[in-house]
Structure 1
Amino acid sequence: MGILSSRSFSIYSFVFVFFFFCSTFTLSGAYDPLDPNGNITIKWDIINWTPDGYVAVVTLYNFQKFRHIPAPGWQLQWTWAKKEVIWTMMGGQATEQGDCSKFKGNIPHCCQKKPNIVDMLQELLTKSRLPTAVGVSVGQAGTSNKTVKVPKNFTLKAPGPGYTCGPGRTGRPSQFISADGRRATQALMTWNVTCTYSQFLSQKTPTCCVSLSSFYNDTIVSCPTCSCGCQNNASHPGSCVEPKNPYLASVVAPPVTNKYSILPPLVQCTSHMCPVRIHWHVKTNYKEYWRVKVTITNFNYRMNYSDWNMVVQHPNFDNLTELFSFNYQPLTPYSTINDTAMLWGLKFYNDLLMQAGPLGNVQSELLFRKDSPTFTFDKGWAFPRRIYFNGDNCVMPPPDTYPWLPNSSPRPNFSLLSTTLTLLSALAFLYTHA
């Protein structure tokens, strides 16, 4: 390629600055301001030596406030530092045994250099606060603190990608309390691995979007167009499905060769193309209270969201009075400021968000008490500042498109995002026709 002209350079510079600005101020990175210390910690506790290695308990602790591990559970992979093998496992299993031909008689559970371990504790898959543990007997590993080596290159899927794990580090030996609480034993050696989540690594496009409406304005603000991607059935047939498609059943449930594999979303054809949409409707205004209706709709034909959760940031959560058909827990990421709430379904009632279709939605109503110094319906105050679904940040509409009060000043009928995208398109057109 030749050297760019000054005009071409200016165009590229503008595009770069725009996308750098967007990427810098999105919340798709590993740092989450609502859960700044959230991580999954892996503890590798050696509890006994054997003739050719050791017995260890490998435990996963979820220290994230609102991101859980759904079915089919986690997958953990590492690379052995030497020529270790796994003789036996409890609570998990390696997906492949590998080449164990050199062993006679007693065959190891896994001989792979990079074993892939999957969760077998089905009852703990969605328990975000409970640790899950795997017992493993390791051979050809060394039989003392000086001869054993920590595994390398840890990779965690929970159940899909998104987590980045640091190196294993030697930590303070863990202690284990007996069932009667009267005796404490100690691990012979403990390694700690910390894994952090990035929404961008998990999926290149967002997974949810937010739409808005109110009783005081007829405007229904839809999810931004192409929030989670654009329809491309022309070039990629089957990327989305019309609800009345006669072939829907055949594309929804393709044959699964591996029960631990994660199928990509197959969504209903919409303008936003998101697997999940959350609609926030300002429903009623009372003298001392105001009411909101929240509806979560599943557009993904391949996913039932079990034990889902939603995190909402709004300044009036400090005055939440009553909640219908959802559970509620306040989160305080900013010390004593109570403006963030985690909502989730009631057990055996609406904790399962069914796949796309007539039953693919759950809803609830929230009743807030008015705080006279801060309450207003003006300038979009009644709408949420940020919404997460299952730990992923949802795409919000541009603020200047929110439903305004009828007596408010008229606003321009265009948004900053629309203007910027239009400008980028025009610049690209000028460049290609230069």
Structure 2
Amino acid sequence: MGFLLPILLGVFLLFTATPPSLSQLPPEIDPPAPAPISPSELCNGIFLSYTFILGRQIPPNDTTDQPYRFESVLTVLNNGREELKEWRVFVGFQHHEILTSASDAIIVNGTDLPAPVGNGTIFAGYPVSDLKTAIQTAGDLKQMTATIELVGTQFMVAPPAIPLPSNISLVNDGWSCPEPTATPLSKRQITTCCIRDPTFEVNTTTITDKFLPRQPGDLTIMYDVIRAYDQNYLAEVTMENHNPLGRLDHWELSFDWMREEFIQKMQGAYPTVVDATKCIFGPQSQIYTGLDFADVLTCERRPIIVDLPPTKAEDPVLGKIPSCCRNGTILPRTMDPSKSASIFTMQVAKMPPDFNRSALSPPQNWRIKGTLNPDYSCGPPVRVSPTLYPDPSGMPTNKTSFASWQIVCNITHAKTETPKCCVSYSAFFNDSIIPCNTCACGCVSETRRTCSAKTPSLLIPPDALLVPFENRTSLTVAWNALKHKTIPNPMPCGDNCGVSINWHIATDYRGGWTARITIFNWGEIDFPDWFLAVQMKKPAIRGFEKAYSFNASLLSIEGGVNNTIFMEGLPGLEYLVAERDELDPKKNLRVPGKQQSVIQFSKKLTPGINVPERDGFPAKVIFNGEECLLPDVLPLASGGRRNGFDTMVLLCMVIFVVALVI
């Protein structure tokens, strides 16, 4: 029994002891909080993010406009069910940024880096432009994601301020992106999730679709590989004009080789500079050891290509290409469908690691321009279905290119663009001409030292229209003195336009009215196959009947509205010659090239039309595709029609005053 006593005592103490307090109990360990869900995981479409990495001050020190280096990352992730082909993302930069580097992407409009992007810009993927889905790749993020590292300069955003863009959005057709928001855990990032727009009609696509459909544009360029070899290929470049008012004269085409390619031969066009120096002193000479580089056309990374003259059209080496050799003229289809395209071929030599028949990569950053033509902005090359060609054997079959890319170019209307032509106004009820605006087509700094670029242009007499601006000063001063107008000092600068158009209200009577239009070519270049388009206000355009000396017709544009009179020269008058010397050497004046016609309007369908005050003047004038600058004011009736006797008296007085000055 003695051995049981300690056991019983232990049991008694166990039940009678004070229970421990809660503070004496071992603390319970809470389960770890779940990790925050990433915004990308909640997106079932195209996830976009812009992350600011760092910023630091860079020289020079300027408290009024201090520059800062910035580094950021743009991410495009395909979380949807369909492959995203040729992705394009808009980034709304807003701090006067200058972009100096962008990895795995290019700027869509072909701008070279460094580039000002302070008003926002659109990026496209390069060299990988398509993003596959998780379904296609079993969740391989490398094939689903594009990560673009951006480096550049911005202004007046000192740390710790975090400069973020105003917007990021997917530009591809058929996608809708809500306004981006900042992530909850970071003020350095904005994100958005783009989904398919349910109202957008999408062609049924499958996982096997390889190419995007061809897109419309004002001007399209096809880059077709028609022969492919291990070390080179033959490409055919086709430029087609689809805009009824678009046009190119003396076109210049440029692009960037991205993989050290160079051009060996060409037909139908030629580089502006033939030079193989960069190949001889570059890696190309180490690869092509047996090649005579004296026969290579150009090794420029960005060559400039121009059309050949008509004399080379049948040249067996340089010509013999359809739709080539027209001095770079591409007309609208409304004028001549056979002249609405231009074609050339070039043999392109490749560099390692692309020594493979299937390793084909088109050049990037395409640009095209002409003389006194509209400005074009071109997108990146987009892989499309192979182009079909008629079989050269004559068989009723088609051959296809090995690979085809489409570049779409559209006419731009940026506010900063300087016009290349201008319009002056005159009317039968006012004997003064309202000339083109001061510096209508720009003013160089040297000119501004002797004239005023801000003073409005002065009224001129009718005969001054035929005189070059630098020779009409005495006429202008005398005319304004007779009109009791203040003559500024310094005098206003000229318009500096190569082409000017005068719109003159000739008559206005009960049954109709007429206008006389005159085109002046003050430049050094002739304009073959010129055209002029005049858009009128609705009341006036319904009364258009005919033009007497031009081939004129109504053109349906802007949603099918017939509001444009399209005019071109009659047979034998299609040439607008350049400015030339006066036949009389004693006058020592230059004479502009000129074309003129009277346009007839009826009032039968336009009762109540107000010709003198507003309806008789154009809303827009376009010469060879370039929109011309209109005057800011209209001629005043000045109490009624001025008769011919008064005008003749004033003209005689002007001539008398000028004679006294001389």
| Same topology, TM > 0.5 | yes
SS of 1:332's partner is strand
1:15-54 aligned at under 5 Å gives the runs 39-54=218-233
Q: Which residue of 2 aligns with 1:365?
A: 598
1:348 pairs with 2:601? no
Contact 2:255/2:365, CA 8 A, preserved across alignment: yes
Specify whether residues 2 and 89 from structure 1 end up closer, same or farther in structure 2 by C-alpha distance, changes over 3 A only. closer
Match 1:81 to one of 258, 261, 275: 258
Match 1:307 to one of 515, 529, 532: 529
- Please give the alpha-carbon distance, in whole angstroms, between the structure 1 residues aligned to 2:382 and 2:606: 53
- Please give the alpha-carbon distance, in whole angstroms, between the structure 1 residues aligned to 2:631 and 2:513: 22
1:306 positional shift: 3.2
- Please give the alpha-carbon distance, in whole angstroms, between the structure 1 residues aligned to 2:443 and 2:357: 55
Specify whether residues 155 and 230 from structure 1 end up closer, same or farther in structure 2 by C-alpha distance, changes over 3 A only. closer
2:365 partner amino acid:
N
Q: Which residue of 2 aligns with 1:398?
A: 632
Specify whether residues 145 and 332 from structure 1 end up closer, same or farther in structure 2 by C-alpha distance, changes over 3 A only. farther
Superposed CA deviations along residues 323-352 of structure 1, whole A, max 9, x for unmatched, are 122122422223342111222223432522
SS of 2:557's partner is coil
Contact 2:521/2:576, CA 8 A, preserved across alignment: no
- Please give the alpha-carbon distance, in whole angstroms, between the structure 2 residues aligned to 1:279 and 1:244: 16
1:225 pairs with 2:438? yes
1:307 positional shift: 2.8
- Please give the alpha-carbon distance, in whole angstroms, between the structure 1 residues aligned to 2:426 and 2:242: 35
1:403 positional shift: 3.0
Q: Larger C-alpha radius of gyration, 1 or 2?
A: 2
- Please give the alpha-carbon distance, in whole angstroms, between the structure 2 residues aligned to 1:319 and 1:243: 39
1:29-428 aligned at under 5 Å gives the runs 39-70=218-249, 73-94=250-271, 95-99=273-277, 100-101=279-280, 102=285, 103-107=289-293, 108-120=296-308, 121-123=324-326, 125-129=328-332, 130-140=340-350, 142=354, 146-159=358-371, 162-178=375-391, 182-198=396-412, 204-229=417-442, 233=447, 235=449, 242-243=470-471, 271-300=494-523, 302-314=524-536, 315=538, 316-355=540-579, 357-370=590-603, 371-373=605-607, 375-377=609-611, 379-399=613-633, 401-404=634-637, 406=639
**166-175 vs 90-99, which moves further:** 90-99
1:278 positional shift: 1.4
Superposed CA deviations along residues 290-312 of structure 1, whole A, max 9, x for unmatched, are 21111122333x33333332221
SS of 2:561's partner is coil
- Please give the alpha-carbon distance, in whole angstroms, between the structure 2 residues aligned to 1:388 and 1:286: 28
- Please give the alpha-carbon distance, in whole angstroms, between the structure 2 residues aligned to 1:229 and 1:84: 38
Contact 1:308/1:353, CA 8 A, preserved across alignment: no
- TM-score (ref. length: structure 1): 0.69
Contact 2:546/2:553, CA 8 A, preserved across alignment: no
- Please give the alpha-carbon distance, in whole angstroms, between the structure 1 residues aligned to 2:505 and 2:542: 17
For structure 1, the residue ranges without an aligned partner over 5 or more in a row are 5-36, 246-268, 409-434
1:115 positional shift: 2.8
1:365 positional shift: 0.6
Percent identity, aligned pairs only, is 26
- Please give the alpha-carbon distance, in whole angstroms, between the structure 2 residues aligned to 1:374 and 1:335: 26
Aligned residues: 348
- Please give the alpha-carbon distance, in whole angstroms, between the structure 1 residues aligned to 2:376 and 2:596: 31
Contact 1:40/1:64, CA 8 A, preserved across alignment: yes
SS of 1:339's partner is strand
For structure 2, the residue ranges without an aligned partner over 5 or more in a row are 1-61, 66-215, 309-323, 333-339, 454-467, 474-491, 581-589, 642-662
- TM-score (ref. length: structure 2): 0.47
2:598 partner amino acid:
E
Contact 1:380/1:403, CA 8 A, preserved across alignment: no
- Please give the alpha-carbon distance, in whole angstroms, between the structure 2 residues aligned to 1:159 and 1:298: 13
Specify whether residues 338 and 90 from structure 1 end up closer, same or farther in structure 2 by C-alpha distance, changes over 3 A only. same
- Please give the alpha-carbon distance, in whole angstroms, between the structure 2 residues aligned to 1:234 and 1:224: 15
Contact 2:533/2:565, CA 8 A, preserved across alignment: yes
Specify whether residues 286 and 216 from structure 1 end up closer, same or farther in structure 2 by C-alpha distance, changes over 3 A only. same
- Please give the alpha-carbon distance, in whole angstroms, between the structure 1 residues aligned to 2:570 and 2:355: 49
Superposed CA deviations along residues 87-111 of structure 1, whole A, max 9, x for unmatched, are 3211122323323432424443333
**186-195 vs 112-121, which moves further:** 112-121
1:204 positional shift: 4.9
SS of 1:379's partner is helix
Contact 2:528/2:574, CA 8 A, preserved across alignment: no
1:374 positional shift: 5.3
- Please give the alpha-carbon distance, in whole angstroms, between the structure 1 residues aligned to 2:619 and 2:375: 24
1:270 positional shift: 6.4
2:511 partner amino acid:
E
- Please give the alpha-carbon distance, in whole angstroms, between the structure 1 residues aligned to 2:601 and 2:512: 5
Contact 1:168/1:191, CA 8 A, preserved across alignment: yes
- Please give the alpha-carbon distance, in whole angstroms, between the structure 1 residues aligned to 2:639 and 2:472: 38
Superposed CA deviations along residues 247-278 of structure 1, whole A, max 9, x for unmatched, are xxxxxxxxxxxxxxxxxxxxxx9643433221
- Please give the alpha-carbon distance, in whole angstroms, between the structure 1 residues aligned to 2:554 and 2:367: 32
Specify whether residues 109 and 271 from structure 1 end up closer, same or farther in structure 2 by C-alpha distance, changes over 3 A only. closer
- Please give the alpha-carbon distance, in whole angstroms, between the structure 1 residues aligned to 2:448 and 2:617: 36
1:368 positional shift: 1.3
- Please give the alpha-carbon distance, in whole angstroms, between the structure 2 residues aligned to 1:318 and 1:221: 26
Specify whether residues 190 and 178 from structure 1 end up closer, same or farther in structure 2 by C-alpha distance, changes over 3 A only. same
Superposed CA deviations along residues 223-244 of structure 1, whole A, max 9, x for unmatched, are 333433458547379x997349
Specify whether residues 60 and 215 from structure 1 end up closer, same or farther in structure 2 by C-alpha distance, changes over 3 A only. same
- Please give the alpha-carbon distance, in whole angstroms, between the structure 2 residues aligned to 1:241 and 1:291: 28
Cα RMSD (Å): 3.6
Contact 1:377/1:405, CA 8 A, preserved across alignment: no
1:109 partner amino acid:
L
2:349 partner amino acid:
G
1:146 positional shift: 4.9
Contact 1:332/1:338, CA 8 A, preserved across alignment: yes
Specify whether residues 190 and 96 from structure 1 end up closer, same or farther in structure 2 by C-alpha distance, changes over 3 A only. same
**222-231 vs 356-365, which moves further:** 222-231
